A and B are shown apart, each in its own frame.
Chain A
């Protein structure tokens, strides 16, 4: 038996959070090993995407039977409820509908790249879910650090006025805000300063179309960084309209950009699936064991071990929980795997009065922010409205659907051409991302009966939506109805218990269907006490002082912002803490050695 290799830090997962932590610690001079379960994955992603029939979030990935990624096609709806096939087993009343990617770079290779900050109000307590042990002010400097690392394009005045976010004086984003789509202008023209009513609120809410911060390249802002400016990595966004799942231009941030900045102190091993975190009798973790495989090897692999002073799990909310449960760690509170959250997204779709030219540019460049804050969130879940620029693709599927529908009615020739043009050229969608509160009953457990190709138990998910969330959806739908009326748009929204709508349910006699926004969170949430949370405000396990759990799994609530910017800010903040801890331990060891040295 060879002695296991030794590192200062081992990071499990080369995704969003893991790549950031590895960079920060590597820059601090620590020897970091990143173990990534997936393959390298960069090869021919655009080609794979173009030649795959269903353009889902995993469609730019080559299939990896040994380390599969859950996808939206694993779920199907129907009159008797939903069914789930594929990697994840699901036992809840409603499906957890979000994919995640197990490939180097993680889910952030396929993400859309919308990066709004959370609002100070989101860190407060509103009578449901869980409390944050820190606030906006604690995180603010790390938001700026994350915006630099990711390369964010946004207009600071618009974020201040349109969202109500506080920024330090003189701050500007690294790049200027992305131009709005033509669709955004059409909507703003019809909606700005008009009022709609929300059934759960007393007074009316005023509408305003506000730019969304983007993780894709725009002209750099010369005023950034006290006039030093910003130099973006990659090309300027050219409007390929495929950011999710792959940007052919390299204009969108992916964690691979951070990996390219890793110093030589960071080592990456792909095809390395960690299945156990080891601990000693004092409660400290000592390292990890992982399975090293070749693609297409039908599960044959070798087990290797590494030891480290510090272990960081960054394997995604679901996989972090799975790994902790498999290792029997960090669960003094009984909360590991619990409080699984997502942003359930209610979609509404229709046709604008005149052509707007969908599928040009990024998936969404603006949103409507007025339903995110205020007293309403004590009664019903708050929501953020994304203006969806890619037709009905998320709501129903790509225009192939429209082609098939017309062909089925025997429409051919110029008639087919004309009717498709009129229809697809006017399609748009509203995407209501609803906050879901932490609920311990929504959880990840292990499936002893169904194992993966390496013989390890697969995750089982139990998921449901509370009435609080459902009231949020009901409010969202009512708001949508009024927006469509103001626009003079044809509303084609219809929710049915059919295969393409696994998230179908009825509430107060009204049908709804939701999709998953990909924002899995909460499975190792942070809190102020070891009694009811898994990690502290530094994302450090309460039970094991040298084990850190990073990613959205640590977030006690999601607010209504896409979570990755906040997750990145948290990761950078935690990395500073890890660095301090490593330095303190090193000083201790050096003193020990001196004291024990023979005089």
Chain B
């Protein structure tokens, strides 16, 4: 769903925590329904899928009427959106003096 491989997701160290957050916020039954999703998906499952992708990509849980919140420092620091272009979220990594002068290195998405 995220476009990152399970190994890449596990490497973030955020997978277990993410699973727990999703379970707590969405409940096992909705999550179960999502695993069983078929085409065309129902709107509820789609919303949940978006929320899960969003929390993986940005570290922010935002679903329904709930006020969005950053799940944890780790969730923010490992946000996948930054990895899509070889970057890191502001305030989490200091790649070193002058590192910004080099051309960016981007790892291509697994085909």
Interface size, chain A (Cβ < 8 Å): 54
A412 to chain B minimum Cβ distance, whole angstroms, is 5
Which residue in chain A gives the minimum CB-CB distance to B85?
Answer: A425
- Per-residue contact bits, chain A 349-360, to B (CB 8 Å; 1 contact, 0 not): 000000111111
Q: Contacts A238-B94, A359-B87, A407-B50 known; A52 to B3 CB distance under 8 Å?
A: no
Cβ of A182 and Cβ of B91 under 8 Å apart? Answer: no
- Per-residue contact bits, chain B 68-100, to A (CB 8 Å; 1 contact, 0 not): 111011001100111011111111111111111
Partner of B100, one of A55, A181, A410, A417: A181
Cβ of B72 and Cβ of A421 under 8 Å apart? Answer: no
A49 CA to B95 CA, complexed, in Å: 19
List of A residues within 8 angstroms of B82 by Cβ: 359, 399
Partner of A421, one of B53, B85, B111: B85
A180 to chain B minimum Cβ distance, whole angstroms, is 6
Name A157-194 residues within 8 Å CB distance of B: 179-182, 185
Partner of A360, one of B54, B57, B104: B104
A389: CB under 8 A from chain B? yes
Cβ of A425 and Cβ of B97 under 8 Å apart? Answer: no
Partner of A400, one of B2, B60, B95, B99: B60
Q: Contacts A51-B70, A359-B87, A414-B110 known; A425 to B3 CB distance under 8 Å?
A: no
A249: CB under 8 A from chain B? yes
Name A205-241 residues within 8 Å CB distance of B: 218, 236-241
B11: CB under 8 A from chain A? no
A361: CB under 8 A from chain B? yes
List of B residues within 8 angstroms of A239 by Cβ: 94-100
Cβ of B91 and Cβ of A50 under 8 Å apart? Answer: yes
Q: Contacts A357-B87, A424-B84 known; A179 to B101 CB distance under 8 Å?
A: yes
Partner of A425, one of B69, B87, B93: B87
Cβ of B81 and Cβ of A240 under 8 Å apart? Answer: no
Which residue in chain B gives the minimum CB-CB distance to A241?
Answer: B90
A449: CB under 8 A from chain B? no
A50 CA to B57 CA, complexed, in Å: 15
List of B residues within 8 angstroms of A365 by Cβ: 100
Partner of B72, one of A51, A185, A236, A362: A51
B96 to chain A minimum Cβ distance, whole angstroms, is 6
Interface size, chain B (Cβ < 8 Å): 47
* A46, A185, A361, A424: most-surrounded residue (chain B CB, <10 A): A361
B4: CB under 8 A from chain A? yes
Q: Contacts A55-B90, A400-B81, A402-B81 known; A185 to B46 CB distance under 8 Å?
A: no
Cβ of A51 and Cβ of B90 under 8 Å apart? Answer: no
A413 CA to B95 CA, complexed, in Å: 28
A74 CA to B80 CA, complexed, in Å: 30
Q: Contacts A181-B100, A416-B3 known; A421 to B84 CB distance under 8 Å?
A: yes
Cβ of B111 and Cβ of A413 under 8 Å apart? Answer: no
B103: CB under 8 A from chain A? yes
B110 to chain A minimum Cβ distance, whole angstroms, is 7
Cβ of A355 and Cβ of B76 under 8 Å apart? Answer: no
B11 to chain A minimum Cβ distance, whole angstroms, is 15
Cβ of A52 and Cβ of B70 under 8 Å apart? Answer: yes
Cβ of A180 and Cβ of B104 under 8 Å apart? Answer: no
A240 CA to B49 CA, complexed, in Å: 31
A340: CB under 8 A from chain B? no
List of A residues within 8 angstroms of B111 by Cβ: 414
List of B residues within 8 angstroms of A78 by Cβ: none
Give me 14 other A-B pairs in contact (C-beta within 8 A), A180-B101, A355-B85, A425-B86 excluded: A50-B89, A179-B101, A238-B94, A238-B95, A240-B94, A242-B90, A357-B100, A359-B88, A360-B100, A365-B100, A399-B58, A413-B3, A418-B3, A420-B81
Q: Which 5 A-B pairs have the closest CB atoms?
A: A357-B104, A361-B100, A425-B85, A238-B94, A417-B3
